[in-house]
Amino acid sequence: MKVFDLELMLPTAEDGTRRSHEGNEQRIGPVSPNRLPPRPGYGFDNYANIFRSKPRAVPDASGAPATTPHDIRMGLEDLIVLMDRAGVERGLFRSSSNADTVRVQRAHPDRFVGMAYLSPFDGMPGVRELERLVREEGLRAFSVGALYEVLPPSDRRYYPYYAKCVELDIPVRIYTSMNYANDRPYDVGHPRHLDQVCIDFPELRIVAGLSGWPWVNDMVALLRRHPNLYCDTAAHRPRHFATPGSGWEQFLQFGNTLNQDKVMVGLSWLLLGNSMENIIAEYLELPLKDSVKEKWLYQNALHFFQMD
């Protein structure tokens, strides 16, 4: 079965200065030489307190396990081998710099769909840079990291970007989930913030990255409410979607019925410390209709990115 991965994670060697958590050096509030050092274990460091289990080693292109799955070092050609082995035809991604994103997408434009990332604090210069990255460099989507900017996606500072995305006819992927960085609001990624954006920009194609857990019922309702709102399952082990009490019950029920055309998968293979094949196998084991599995894994993304 073909797969379109909505969170194709790049190995460190191809992602410049990628950190284990994007923004883990970012400090909330004004920059000042008189600020005290960050508190140990606070902010993004809290993720280490939440996720204590060691991720499984993922195989490299030769099949040998890597000892450091979050920092696996391989080239693009090796990554292509892993994608081919797993049936991953295309992947959405962004690097730690727009320059790296452009470079990777240019290397394999038929396999990678690159997203631009720009700060909402940059105003119109940022909007002009987005247009340049799309028209001249060929990037195909825009990424909003509410978690890192500590601004909900409904904040007015994102609106010039949304308007430009509509004009350029490119989609936007918006971080939509609870976060564990305990130096910022836990609900900056709540799905409710997407409602106003969808109201104000009904033509804007939006994918809610991470599917809004633990506010799954809100996510399900918003997917029903807004025609151009989709979601992806990135950063979550698919086997847990079918676990009773996991909070995914309504997502799975509606994802198999009324919302079956709105769900796309994000493998997040490096984050989960597992091979692409194993993660895909877990999706295929979910209690979904066969036709729905094909939609989740491939067809919905192909339609969303207008590649069908």
Q: Is 196:222 a contact under the CB 8 Å cutoff?
A: no
Q: What is the pLDDT of residue 123?
A: 96
Q: How many domains does the chain have?
A: 1
Is the pLDDT confidence value at 136 over 90? yes
**194 in any annotated domain:** yes
State which H helix or E strand residue 93 sits in.
strand 88-93
Q: What DSSP designation does 67 have?
A: S
Distance of alpha carbon 121 from alpha carbon 31, whole angstroms? 14
Distance of alpha carbon 66 from alpha carbon 81, whole angstroms? 15
**33 in any annotated domain:** no
Q: What is the pLDDT of residue 24?
A: 43
Q: Where are the beta strands (DSSP E) in 224-284?
A: 229-232, 263-264
**245 in any annotated domain:** yes
C-alpha separations of 72 from 18, 57, 96, 274, 282 in Å? 11, 9, 16, 12, 22
Question: Where residue 264 falls among pLDDT bands split at 50, 70, 90?
Answer: very high
C-alpha separations of 299 from 3, 46, 292 in Å? 8, 37, 9
Q: What is the pLDDT of residue 144?
A: 97
Question: Where residue 71 falls among pLDDT bands split at 50, 70, 90?
Answer: low
Distance of alpha carbon 184 from alpha carbon 297, whole angstroms? 33
**24 in any annotated domain:** no
The SS3 assignment for 116 reads strand
Distance of alpha carbon 288 from alpha carbon 130, whole angstroms? 38
The SS3 assignment for 293 reads helix
CATH of the domain at 115: 3.20.20.140
For residue 192, the enclosing domain spans 3-15+42-304
Is the pLDDT confidence value at 67 over 50? no
Question: Averaged over 101-112, what is the pLDDT?
Answer: 96
Distance of alpha carbon 171 from alpha carbon 115, whole angstroms? 9
Task: State the pTM of this model.
Answer: 0.92
DSSP string, 44-64: GGGHHHH--SPPPPPB-TTSP
Distance of alpha carbon 143 from alpha carbon 165, whole angstroms? 11
- Please, what sign has the CA dihedral across residues 280, 98, 171, 192? positive
**27 in any annotated domain:** no
Distance of alpha carbon 184 from alpha carbon 189, whole angstroms? 11
**179 in any annotated domain:** yes
Helix-strand-coil split of the chain, %, nearest 5:
45, 10, 45
Backbone angles phi, psi at 293, to 5 degrees: -55, -40
Q: What is the pLDDT of residue 40?
A: 87
Q: Is 72:12 a contact under the CB 8 Å cutoff?
A: yes
Digit-coded pLDDT (tens) for 11-66: 876 776 454 444 445 667 777 888 888 888 889 889 888 887 655 666 666 666 55
b/e per residue 188-208 (b: at least 16 CB within 10 A): bbbbebbbebbeebeebbbbb
Q: What is the pLDDT of residue 19?
A: 45
**30 in any annotated domain:** no
Question: Where residue 73 falls among pLDDT bands split at 50, 70, 90?
Answer: low
User: Which residue type sits at 121?
Assistant: F
- Hey, what are 149's tokens? 């900017």
Digit-coded pLDDT (tens) for 184-224: 999 999 999 999 999 999 999 999 999 999 999 999 999 99
**35 in any annotated domain:** no
